[in-house]
Amino acid sequence: MERLLAPRFGQSIHVQRPGVVLGILLVLSLVCVTMYAREGDDGAIHSLQSAVSGIFVPLKAASGGVSAAEQSISDRVTDAQADPNSLTALREQNEQLRQRASALEEYRLEAERLEGLLEMRTTYQAQGVPARVLSRSTDAWNQVVTIDAGAVEGVRAGLPVMGPSGLVGQVVSTSDHASDVRLLRDSSSGVAVIIQSSREEGIVHGSIEGLLYLDDISDEVEVNPGDVLITSGLGGGYFRGIMVGTVLKVEGEAGATTRKIIVDANESADPLEEVYVVTSMTSKLAEPEKDLNDTSGSGTAGSDALAGYADLDGDGVAETYVGGETSNGYGYDAYGTGAY
Amino acid sequence: MGGRVGIAAIGALLALVLQVVLAPNIAIMGTMPHFVIAYTMVVSLLVPGTPAYVVAFCLGMASDLLGYGPVGALPFILLIMAFAIGRAESAFGNGTVFVSCSILVVFVILAHFLHAAFMVAMTSTYSASEAFLLIAIPQSLYDSVLAVIMYIALRRMFSPSPSPGGIGSSGLRLR
């Protein structure tokens, strides 16, 4: 291995100059970090990151297999514990029936999930690509899943991804036949939403503990558990009208600046297995809502509030976030248009 | 020496595969083991010097490229830790498993804390308290256990083969 690094110096570097190797590698690492921080999403290191992610798709798929095997073993252990006196003459037959029943149950659940996706697709009149979840992220810092549809199937970065009950995330990178989807509960995710009942706008963002929070909503607005949140379409990253979740808990009263609104995510109830990447929506819901307070007839409700949110550098100029491009300097993309 | 380097390289590949295939499936309450960090620390303790640096750089870079964090951060941290753990072992190590494991645990925890600090500093996505409380501390505890198991399992494989006719034992010394 050391020969690869120092072919001309051979053993002498290995034995006498490990410090030189250390220095070179440290400098290389720092160069990479600096380049990564300075370049945009289309930069060389970001592209390399996407490419490597694509290369590792078969391994990630194996991870999904391990997960399934783990589930199967867990089921068997549970079964064994539940029925410890099953050493009878019918044990073998019983086992076969159990396996068949398990397989049928699996098909039934899958059919149920697919039916949900189909229903959702019909409701939203959404066109897109159905996909299966291959694997989950390999580190604790990201909530990203890999799906088995990529550029060849028509998936591209920035498209919203829906589960059986609504929005679950957004495509962040694609390879030929796989894509990475950043889930809403990732701390760098964010989506502009409206509360369906009051039409008030806000931002739902993920967090490191995996919860969704509704922020940037006026302190005076009454928010109650059970309120439904849908995408507002602002920012261009998501189509309008997709269900994001429901308000689960409100900590603090209306008017309090420290109020915390926790949102129940669509994909929190079940592990995500099948998703639908939305390429277009023809539903009336997807059309922008006319701003009732906007006398000029342009803009959408609450757009000023959102512009104010984006003006974080205090220069009085709202950073723009149009067509999937953001420059809000907030660290995460508050409008759900992709990775920071 | 060549044999130890070969084992270290094979182990590095295995650690990477385990990180991709196994780690997401053995998360405990959202805490995922980091085979890459644990293995690098173990190798740095057993084969200090250039092999450890190369393993630290390659594994760190691969791990960063597989994720979505700043590329180069993990190799940088692992290199510093690989250097420091080698120095600590030569300063405090007395050949006993207990002392080596203690050094290992300290540096695994340090590596996770440094990584968390890097993530907080490089991306404004995470707050410091969340990053340390919800990721760095649980993950460092998980990895400490993992690293100690790895160390005990790999210690014999990495120990230099005894010279012919030499006296000595490569068995474990607990104190």
Domain residue spans of chain A: 17-55, 127-340
Check: pTM over 0.90? Answer yes or no: no
Query: Region A129-149: what's the mean pLDDT?
Result: 87
Q: Is the CB of A210 less than 8 angstroms away from the CB of B119? A: no
Q: Which pLDDT band, with edges at 50, 70 and 90, does A273 fall under?
A: confident
Give residue-wise pLDDT tens across range A284-311.
Answer: 555 544 443 443 433 333 333 333 333 3
CATH number of B2-158: 1.10.1760
Q: Which pLDDT band, with edges at 50, 70 and 90, does A269 fall under?
A: very low
Give A209→chain B minimum CA distance, Å: 7
pLDDT-above-70 percentage for chain B: 90
What pLDDT score does B99 carry?
Answer: 92
Domain residue spans of chain B: 2-158
Q: Is the CB of B126 less than 8 angstroms away from the CB of A187? A: yes
Q: Which pLDDT band, with edges at 50, 70 and 90, does B161 fall under?
A: low
More confident residue, A9 or B141: B141
Give residue-wise pLDDT tens across range A310-337.
Answer: 333 333 333 333 333 333 333 333 333 3
Q: Which pLDDT band, with edges at 50, 70 and 90, does B24 fall under?
A: confident
Q: Which of A205-209, A278-282, B52-56, B159-163 has the highest mean pLDDT?
A: B52-56
pLDDT at A79 over 50: yes
Query: Region B133-148: what's the mean pLDDT?
Result: 93
Give residue-wise pLDDT tens across range A201-253.
Answer: 889 988 887 788 988 888 778 888 888 888 888 877 788 888 888 888 888 77
- Give CA–CA dist A10/A22, Å, rounded: 15
Task: Evaluate whether A243 touches A167 at the Cβ level (below 8 Å).
Answer: yes
Query: Region B106-127: what's the mean pLDDT?
Result: 89
Q: Is the CB of A140 less than 8 angstroms away from the CB of B125? A: no
In chain B, residues with a C-beta closer than 8 Å to the C-beta of A49 are 64-65, 68, 71
Cα torsion A292, A294, A300, A302: sign: negative
Q: Is the CB of B76 less than 8 angstroms away from the CB of A26? A: yes
Place of tokens 């006196």: A85
What kind of fold does domain A127-340 have according to CATH? Thrombin, subunit H (2.40.10)
Count Cβ neighbours within 10 Å for each residue of A227-261 and write b for 16 or more, e otherwise: bebbbbbbbbbbbbbbbbbbbbebeeeeeeeebeb
pLDDT at B37 over 90: yes
In chain B, residues with a C-beta closer than 8 Å to the C-beta of A138 are 19-20, 23-24, 32, 63, 66-67
Residue of A141, A143, A182, A211 to mutate, interface with B, max B Cβ within 10 Å: A141
ipTM strictly over 0.90? Answer: no
pLDDT at A93 over 60: yes
If you average pLDDT over every residue of chain A, what do you get? 72
Q: Is the CB of B25 less than 8 angstroms away from the CB of A139? A: no
Q: Is the CB of A1 less than 8 angstroms away from the CB of B54? A: yes
What pLDDT score does A315 carry?
Answer: 39
pLDDT-above-70 percentage for chain A: 65
Q: Which of A137, A144, A331 sits opposite B123 (nearest CB)?
A: A331
Q: Is A30 helix (H, G, I), strand (E, B) or coil?
A: helix
- Give CA–CA dist B38/B68, Å, rounded: 20
More confident residue, B153 or A239: B153
- Give CA–CA dist A293/A322, Å, rounded: 22
Q: Which pLDDT band, with edges at 50, 70 and 90, does B163 fall under?
A: low
